Amino acid sequence: MKFTTKEIAQYINGDIEGDPGIIIDSVARIEEGHKGALSFLSNMNYEKYLYTTGSSAVIVNRDFRPASPVKATLIRVDNSYEAFAALLTVYEQSKPRKKGIHPTAVIESTAKLGKDVYVGPMAYVGENVILGDRCAVYPHARIGDNCRLGNDTMIYPGVTVYHECIIGNNCTVHAGSVIGSDGFGFAPQSGENYKKIPQIGNVILEDNVEIGANVVVDRATMGSTVIRKGVKLDNLIQIGHNVEVGENTVMAGQTGIAGSTKIGRNCMFGGQVGITGHVKIADGTKAAAKSGVNSNILKENTTVYGSPAFEYRKAQLSWIIFRRLPELKQQVERLEEEIKEIKNR
């Protein structure tokens, strides 16, 4: 698809500095720009590329003032990152969507399919499943019995959605993820044995949830494991049974949440964060990468770091002291020697 810089500026409420008639037919990173491409600048670490980029147009913030002449046409907006993201969304939505049922797909007779549904090669749709309008179930995906999927939901190749799980509207589950596998429930028995506790609950993904590749969300022992609307999970994340993740919370890769933990709204977790079971995490909590949270965080908008995690500023000061431990040890040893000498005198 092709657009003029004027058309793009009108869509994102931008002001043009340069040629409004330039044709844009692709997007590119600012350091890899080429003729006909649209780029954006929001991180000033990349400003140097603005003066050499081959892109025909660049989206910048309204208050940005170039330090040198710029060859590209500039489109000034309130927030260049948000504006560029909006354009990418339009570009993605403009691509034709797959429709139809592949001959090798298996769809049970009791399943109900909405309008313009796609079910790819070797995919399976179980008994009493409901697929909303424009759902897409890609090759080798499996939707278990009694599941419900809302409108415009995408299930990518190799995904397994276990029985009785519910997925809302406009959700995305990326390749290899498992929704609704058994929670890790085993009761210790005599003789060092364990007895499996049946996991009879389900998983609920509310609207606008995105699940990365190779993520596992365990079903509840009883009730539901719930991922609230707007949650975004990166790749390689483990969500334990009966966990509840609040609205618009985001988690980076390799995060793990143990069973029955309740996470608030608008939380942010860096990579490899681990949270123990049966704790409560307040709204707006931020946990830096590799943090280990082993107790409740009840104060909203708290930032933590470390393992065990505690308040971020205190953790930083503690690490400054930790790095100086060898030097401090030597100082203590010297003081001990001086004290001994004084005593001997």
pTM across the whole model: 0.87
∠ Cα 54 58 60 (to 5°) = 145
Please state the rounded mean pLDDT for residues 232-254: 98
pLDDT higher than threshold 80 for residue 191: no
**Start-to-end CA span in the chain (Å):** 90
pLDDT higher than threshold 80 for residue 160: yes
Please state the rounded mean pLDDT for residues 266-283: 98
The answer to whether 180 and 202 have CB atoms below 8 angstroms apart is yes
pLDDT of residue 190: 78
The answer to whether 125 and 106 have CB atoms below 8 angstroms apart is yes
Closest Cα to residue 127, out of 149, 141, 112, 114? 112
Please identify every residue annotated as catalytic: 241
Please state the rounded mean pLDDT for residues 82-98: 87
Q: What is the mean pLDDT of the chain?
A: 95
pLDDT higher than threshold 90 for residue 258: yes
Identify the residue whose tokens are 């007779």.
109
pLDDT of residue 315: 84
Question: How much is the CA Rg of the chain, to the nearest whole Å?
Answer: 27
pLDDT tens digits for range 22-45: 999 999 999 999 999 999 999 999
* CB contact set of 330 (below 8 Å; sequence gap of 6+): none
pLDDT of residue 314: 87
Q: Are strands 310-311 and 303-305 parallel, antiparallel or unpaired?
A: antiparallel
Backbone torsions φ then ψ of 258, nearest 5 degrees: -75, 165
For every residue of 153-199, DSSP letters joined together read -EE-TT-EE-TT-EE-TT-EE-TT-EEEEPP--EEEEGGGEEEEPP-
pLDDT higher than threshold 90 for residue 74: yes
pLDDT of residue 96: 82
pLDDT of residue 185: 92
Helix, coil or strand: residue 314: helix
pLDDT higher than threshold 90 for residue 174: yes
Please tell me which residue, 277 or 189, carries the higher pLDDT value.
Answer: 277
Please state the rounded mean pLDDT for residues 50-67: 96
Closest Cα to residue 107, out of 84, 127, 79? 127
Size (the chain), residues: 345
Give how far Cα 323 sits from Cα of 161, 317, 326, 329, Å.
47, 10, 8, 11
pLDDT of residue 262: 98
pLDDT higher than threshold 90 for residue 95: no
Please state the rounded mean pLDDT for residues 208-223: 98
CA distance 236 to 195: 28
pLDDT of residue 1: 73
Q: Which two tokens stand for residue 62?
A: 């309204």
Lowest-confidence segment of 182-186, 212-216, 339-343 by average pLDDT: 339-343
Which of the four pLDDT bands, split at 50, 70 and 90, describes residue 237? Answer: very high
